[in-house]
Structure 1
């Protein structure tokens, strides 16, 4: 039996020379047969070196790492967040800019002032004695609360009107010689003649001695009876209270049918006088309405 086992072991050693050769196979067979075990007699197994990947696999794997490394998640988020911040800043700058409305109110105010000035300067009319002028005195009538403009001719040197010339001049501008048909209006123009130290001026009054009433060239003027005016002078050229119509008895006869305002002409203060219409004085023009 032992001869058969030995023969089989010899055959195994011969058939498998990679496991230690012929003698090593015999030695191993005898060791197994007789139970001899010697760990030092058998060479330790050689450690196999780590198998390195083929060069082609390394070249293909490295570019994948290089492509993946430049795109981490943090860099991708920062690139997306930065454009959003840049888009938000222009919105803050646009909201911080002032609205262009404050300047749209000033153009309207300027256009109103510019349109009102030409209306005052666009005057038509005038006569050979005096050119047309814009109103240069303004007064608010308390009877209706309306402020009106008046043309005071002595303020620009036109002072040589007969009463008919004064009427013609005012009519050329669509106006009438002034009517002093209320106590407030009488006080206003008395104050004006005193302020300017003007000696006299023509009104639009027509003195009707027969009816003892003063009518006015301006149709809107209210007639004033002689007895209702406290502005008549107590004296005149003949030393008689006004109206005295004294020139009607002179030669040639010149009825005093025009109303003039005289500033202390007879040392009597600012008073009304009936005057012959051929005398020359400045005047005041007023709107017809």
Structure 2
């Protein structure tokens, strides 16, 4: 099904480019297709621009980069993930979640990737206060797991200090949820440019 959608997007992109004559499109192999307002993956306008190569999806005016699409074998500890995202260029940071719709988008990305079980997000804990790397306010929406490795609700600081935030896909039979995690662990990361 993904292959058919991918080919369809490529054909539509080429037809648009031919019709308007000035549009430049390139096709990047998508790992996730989501229907919805202002959401797409795989088809990028003007991809000859270096900045566009960092964009793997756009949703509600925000651009997203998925480290596993850029380099499937490269993973990061929590702090290195933040550095990787900011190194993509001005305005980039590890992803912050500002709404249920943004979380549903990110959750859909994780759930659509068969071989991906988790990724870092841009949340960090400083003396019991969670903040987003994007500078957005933490909350009012949160998706903490009701149970972690010891069956306790998240955040639980089970492996102290658990000062980084990850999205985990059913690791503890708890669906796709947020977990506080020791930053020494290595994972892929989702980056965001608002």
TM over 0.5: yes
Q: For 1:158-237, what aligned pairs fall within 5 Å after superposition?
A: 158-174=73-89, 175-197=92-114, 198-208=116-126, 210-211=128-129, 214-219=130-135, 221-224=136-139, 228-229=141-142, 231-237=143-149
> Where does residue 154 of structure 1 map in the other structure?
68
Q: Which has the higher strand share?
A: 2
- What secondary structure sits across from 1:120 in the alignment? coil
Residue 196 of structure 1, CA deviation: 1.3
1:210 Cα deviation from its structure 2 partner: 2.5
Partners of 2:159 and 2:18 in 1: how far apart?
61
Residue of structure 1 in register with 2:58 after alignment? 138
Structure 2 counterpart of 1:246 = 158
2:47 maps to which of 120, 131, 135: 120
**CA spacing shift, 1:280–1:107, aligned 2, 3 Å:** closer
Aligned match of 1:68: none
Alignment partners' CA distance in 1, 2:108 and 2:179: 17
For the residues of structure 2 that align with 1:107 and 1:237, how far apart are their CA atoms? 54
Name stretches of at least 5 consecutive residues in structure 1 with no aligned partner: 1-105, 125-131, 141-146, 249-254
Distance 1:262 1:181 in 2: 18
Q: Which has the higher helix share?
A: 1
Task: Work out which structure has the larger RCO, using CA pairs closer than 8 Å and 6 or more positions apart in sequence.
Answer: 2
How many pairs were matched up? Answer: 156
Using structure 2 for the length normalisation, give the TM-score: 0.71
TM-score, scaled to structure 1: 0.49
Instruction: State which structure, 1 or 2, has the greater radius of gyration over its C-alpha atoms.
Output: 1
RMSD of the TM alignment (CA)?
2.5
